[in-house]
Amino acid sequence: MDSIKIALAQLNPTVGDIAGNLEKLRTARKKAAQAGADLVLSTELFISGYQPEDLVMKPAFLVACLKAVEALAADTADGGPGVIVGFPRQGEAGRHNSVAVLDGGEIIAIRDKVDLPNYGEFDEKRVFVPGEMPGPVSFRGVRIGIPICEDIWGDLGVCETLAESGAELLLSPNGSPYYRGKVDVRHQVVLKQVIETGLPLVYLNTLGGQDELVFDGGSFGFNADKTLAFQMPQFAEDIAISEWERGDDGWRIVGGKVAALPLGEASDYRACVLGFADYVNKNGFKSVVLGLSGGIDSAICAAIAVDALGAERVHCVMLPYRYTSEESLSDAAACAKALGCRYDIVAIEEPVSGFQAALESLFEGTEEGITEENLQSRTRGTILMAISNKFGAMVVTTGNKSEMSVGYATLYGDMNGGFNPIKDLYKMQVYAVAAWRNTERPEGMHGPEKNAIPQNIIDKTPSAELRPDQTDQDSLPPYPVLDDILECLVEREMSVEAIVARGHDAETVHRIEHLLYIAEYKRRQSAPGVKITRKNFGRDRRYPITNRFRDR
């Protein structure tokens, strides 16, 4: 063959939905056949969905995945495109993260992932065993190397081995989660392999939300001369046909399209929307409910919910108490109106008074303080959970990363809920994303064109409104200062000495470090949320709850 067409299936599978994933790939194969494709490439562990985690330890699950691959192999007896499909399999040495190459009605080859990642959000050494160093697969006369995800990221020399053993081109199925700037990182990883092997390389990335992770797609290919041959979109399913020609210098991708990619706040926002939409839809929730306080965090969560699901599936509830300002009441109402979603007011004065009356004799002689403030938050949480139980709507949690870091949130109160779309956005990032959304609406969003969030919500001083004239800065440093300290402590693991050298007050840094550590128990009980930064709480950062270390 001097030419070949390879269809790149950037699709959104669902973990555990083996039948649904199989049907999705069958549909993609039919479209690829209509476009004249010879081969369809799918993403890492496509049949099982990614990440399947401990599901792969269940023998019945592995059997079901294999049967799906065999059924797909039988489809290829029709003379249409072959398929490269990812799936977990039971081998003689243990469980493998594998791909099967299907053609002519058969499984013509299987290759296993060699380099198993065990850092950050990855824990593959726990459930898989590494495969042998692979050779290329001969597909209709073309020798194809298939390094699986970490096989191109790591330093085990998988791509070099494939090149040395005769591979003519490299097709890499991936499951690479999003963080800001990740596409540039992937480009550099692929270019390194292209330079070292002298071969063209296609990087196909999965799409969709899976619990806390978002896979943003953004698949691409580089030719052997280090030029970008094509770039697929982020945050959208797509089937691209890559056309290859064999010349004197080997294979080359010709005529590829380069999609424009979102940057900065645009990409963060789309990641939040995709992760939220998939969590709600893949778990079968018909609607969501959230407390709309008139503050920036609940407002951006409401906007994300409407953009992800449509206004008809979003229910906002204002839960005022005696300290709730008229400004907050009007801002919350204006936000719900701008988004077009249902808005109700449920006053909490009576239930809070009831709790206070019940505790009056027990609390006699004590001063009012955080306990009474938390009663307000927990009353709101109870009401939202009651609405959820009655109508089946998932409660949306609305705390940002700055608050989650220092424990500025109430267990069984504002931390109640099923999912938090801004859990990994610091407060200043929330403001930046809100300002961006007020000027832009990405393709596929259901909310208003512009001005999704009233400007006064963005402009006013943030407050929990749990006591008279309260502001967040009564107990926290200004958010630009707090966020910088937290990023240094969490993402960069910097010493207190180094953070102080950046110009921060030593006492403030020590205090924030202490708050960060003692809030670990709260974070362990918090709802999952979209991973946006390089290091989120949970998968990436696993600190002990019982911990006396302080950097002094």
Q: Which residues are catalytic?
A: 44, 113, 149
DSSP of 433-483: HHHHHTT---TT--S-SS--S-HHHHHSPP---SSTT--GGGTS--HHHHH
Task: Determine if residue 466 is labeled as part of a ligand binding site.
Answer: no
> 118 with 125: CB under 8 angstroms?
yes
Closest C-alpha among 165, 470, 168, 527 to residue 293:
470
Task: Determine if residue 522 is labeled as part of a ligand binding site.
Answer: yes
Token pair in block for residue 467: 């006591």
Task: Determine if residue 374 is labeled as part of a ligand binding site.
Answer: yes
Residue 366's alpha-carbon distances to 361, 373, 405, in angstroms, are 10, 14, 29
Residue 70's alpha-carbon distances to 13, 50, 63, 104, in angstroms, are 18, 20, 11, 12
Task: Determine if residue 182 is labeled as part of a ligand binding site.
Answer: yes
Task: Determine if residue 293 is labeled as part of a ligand binding site.
Answer: yes
Task: Determine if residue 219 is labeled as part of a ligand binding site.
Answer: no
Determine which helix (DSSP H) or strand (DSSP E) holds 142, and give its type and residue range: strand 142-145
Task: Determine if residue 78 is labeled as part of a ligand binding site.
Answer: no
Q: How many Å apart are CA 144 and CA 165, to the nearest integer?
A: 11
Task: Determine if residue 282 is labeled as part of a ligand binding site.
Answer: no
Task: Determine if residue 294 is labeled as part of a ligand binding site.
Answer: yes
Task: Determine if residue 298 is labeled as part of a ligand binding site.
Answer: yes
Q: How many Å apart are CA 256 and CA 224, to the nearest integer?
A: 14
Tell me which long-range contacts 269-272 makes (C-beta under 8 A, separation of at least 24): 269/304, 269/433, 269/436, 269/437, 269/442, 270/216, 270/234, 270/235, 270/442, 271/178, 271/214, 271/216, 271/235, 271/530, 271/532, 272/304, 272/421, 272/422, 272/425, 272/433, 272/530, 272/532
Cβ neighbors of 246 (< 8 A, separation 6 or more) are 1, 2, 3, 168, 252
Task: Determine if residue 284 is labeled as part of a ligand binding site.
Answer: no
Task: Determine if residue 118 is labeled as part of a ligand binding site.
Answer: no
Task: Determine if residue 297 is labeled as part of a ligand binding site.
Answer: yes
Task: Determine if residue 295 is labeled as part of a ligand binding site.
Answer: yes
Task: Determine if residue 27 is labeled as part of a ligand binding site.
Answer: no
* Binding-site entries: 119, 176, 182, 291-298, 374, 398, 403, 522
* Binding-site entries for deamido-NAD(+): 374, 403, 522
* Binding-site entries for ATP: 291-298, 398
* Binding-site entries for L-glutamine: 119, 176, 182
